[in-house]
Amino acid sequence: MRNVNVNNLIDNAQFNPFHWKLLFWCALIIIFDGYDLVIYGVVLPRLMDQWGLSPVEAGVLGSYALFGMMFGALLFGPLSDRFGRKRMIAICVVLFSGMTFINGFASTPTQFGICRFLAGIGIGGVMPNVVALMTEYAPKKLRSTMVAIMFSGYSIGGMMSAGLGIWLIPTFGWSSVFFIAGIPLLILPLIIRALPESPGFLLRQKRTAETGSILARIEPGFTPQSADQYQLETGAKNTSVPLVQLFQDRRTLSTLMFWTAFFMCLLMVYAIASWLPKLMVQAGYGFNSSLMFLLVLNIGAILGAIGGGFVADRLHLKRVLIVFFLFAVASISLLGYKHDIAVLYGLLMVAGATTIGSQILLYAYAAQFYPLAIRSTGIGWSSGIGRIGAIVGPMLGGSLLAMNLPLEQNFMAFAIPGIIAAVAVATISRSVEHAPEEEKNLAYAAETGMLKPD
């Protein structure tokens, strides 16, 4: 009989086909997750014309999906810590893909809002689970990078929404872009077969043979034996429920700061994503041009997320995030002024990199901060509380447009939350930073979510 340290085997593994496969399927889920979410901003100008919606009414309608995302993140994060990531991911895919497809048949704002709420539950529920699954199987030296690359699928999905909207909406109407969202339902059996289950859940279920098979794929040099005893540090405590553990072991302040940062970041992201096309149409740009701005915003998000993740794996996730938020404040504020088209595209790319990109890095930071046993709970509640900011964002944009403020004042209002987010991130515990003087404590902190005792 031998003892196998699962944490060490996964942390020190070399990137191989197993990781490629995991990255591909998780990213594909996030691509359609992002497609289904950003789609509202793409069709918003047409919906306002067809249904005679005021800016405030349109903002409220846009918030239905975000209410659903809040409930989905709060619900499916803790459920997956108890019942496994894979099962919850499958349920969420059915929800967000199926309901977005049905949304294409909506003929009234009420029908549209109900479908968006139900789709939002799946969109919000799947995010913490794929982030947690990726974090649990990624090599330590590539953890932030892999989460960032995977989550860049969100921006690819947003680009697909904008790109397909430019092509499909003028010819086939706004409903056509919703029908594309049914594709994940067709490939769901492949997704279920391809994704591994969480190592912590497998060992709790005493599925040691399956655990050994997965570990052999992660580390080809490892050959499982029937008598193996697997050891996995989860940070679990039998005396408290996962939600309570978010506030134990000196995590209270950091948990509250994660919630604040998620709230402010998502407020910026969804205010801009929902109202950028409409604001640009008001500024004198054509409909297709305004959708192109949304496309550029998401291209910037991909570059920011991947670049930020790469740097964060070598430096400090906290410092990268603080710098990103400060650049977000500057770039969004400048969007409200007249610029040459090249400068405008540049500002949009920076804004996308430092708002949507920051959201992705926040997920990576939370996934590394919380221990395995409460990882999805920590990410899910951070995301769920953040969704309140996402709900406020479109409503704030609608209220600002109803006030007929100058364009620059709208964008300045969207930028202010970035300052608060930067302060919140700066206040989070340093226990999981990649600082040289703390490197010896990194493995302990990443798996337990707390400082190593003296």
What's the rounded Cα separation, in Å, for the pair 188 and 24? Answer: 14
In this structure, what are the phi and psi dihedrals at residue 5, rounded to the nearest 5 degrees?
-85, 105
Which whole number is the average pLDDT over 111-118?
91
What pLDDT does 236 receive?
Answer: 53
For 41, 176, 278, the CA distances from 165, given in Å and listed in that order, are: 10, 9, 14
* CA 61 from centre of chain: 22
What pLDDT does 296 receive?
Answer: 84
Q: Are the beta carbons of 414 and 266 closer than 8 angstroms?
A: no
Q: Are the beta carbons of 390 and 69 closer than 8 angstroms?
A: yes
For 142, 152, 293, the CA distances from 306, given in Å and listed in that order, are: 11, 7, 20
From the list 54, 8, 42, the residue with the least C-alpha distance to 160 is 42
Q: What is the DSSP string of 78-145?
A: HHHHHH-HHHHHHHHHHHHHHHHHHHTT--SHHHHHHHHHHHHHHHHHHHHHHHHHHHHHS-GGGHHH
Which whole number is the average pLDDT over 18-43?
86
Count Cβ neighbours within 10 Å for each residue of 94-111 and write b for 16 or more, e otherwise: ebbbbbbbbbbebeebee
Token pair 């010819």: residue: 171
Does pLDDT of 403 surpass 90? no
What pLDDT does 98 receive?
Answer: 92
pTM: 0.73
Q: Percentage of residues in the chain with pLDDT exceeding 70?
A: 90
In this structure, what are the phi and psi dihedrals at residue 229, rounded to the nearest 5 degrees?
-110, 120
What's the rounded Cα separation, in Å, for the pair 441 and 215? Answer: 24
What's the rounded Cα separation, in Å, for the pair 140 and 10? Answer: 8
The band of 222, judged by pLDDT with boundaries at 50, 70 and 90, is confident
Residue 238: CB atoms within 10 Å: 4
Token pair 């002024």: residue: 337
Determine the straight-line distance between the first and last CA of the chain, rounded to whole angstroms: 33
Which whole number is the average pLDDT over 203-215?
85
What pLDDT does 441 receive?
Answer: 36
Cα dihedral sign, 299-184-175-103: negative
Q: Are the beta carbons of 161 and 43 closer than 8 angstroms?
A: no
Q: Give per-residue pLDDT as tens, 264-306.
A: 998 988 888 777 777 777 766 665 666 677 778 878 888 888 8
3-5 vs 229-231, strand pairing mode: parallel
Q: Are the beta carbons of 29 and 130 closer than 8 angstroms?
A: yes
Which whole number is the average pLDDT over 48-66?
81
Which whole number is the average pLDDT over 162-168?
81
Q: Are the beta carbons of 329 and 267 closer than 8 angstroms?
A: no
Calculate the average pLDDT of the chain: 81
In 283-316, which residue ranges form alpha helices assigned H by DSSP?
287-312
Which pair of tokens denotes residue 215? 């570990």
What pLDDT does 322 receive?
Answer: 93
**Amino acid letter for position 137:** Y
What pLDDT does 289 receive?
Answer: 64
What's the rounded Cα separation, in Å, for the pair 397 and 55? Answer: 8
The band of 454, judged by pLDDT with boundaries at 50, 70 and 90, is very low
Kind and range of the H or E run holding 207: none
Between 43 and 232, residue with greater pLDDT: 43
Q: Is 284 helix (H, G, I), strand (E, B) or coil?
A: coil
What pLDDT does 437 receive?
Answer: 33
Does pLDDT of 425 surpass 90? yes
What pLDDT does 446 receive?
Answer: 35
Cα Rg of the chain (Å, integer): 21
From the list 381, 386, 378, the residue with the least C-alpha distance to 417 is 386
For 89, 103, 322, 370, the CA distances from 381, given in Å and listed in that order, are: 17, 27, 21, 12
Kind and range of the H or E run holding 241: none
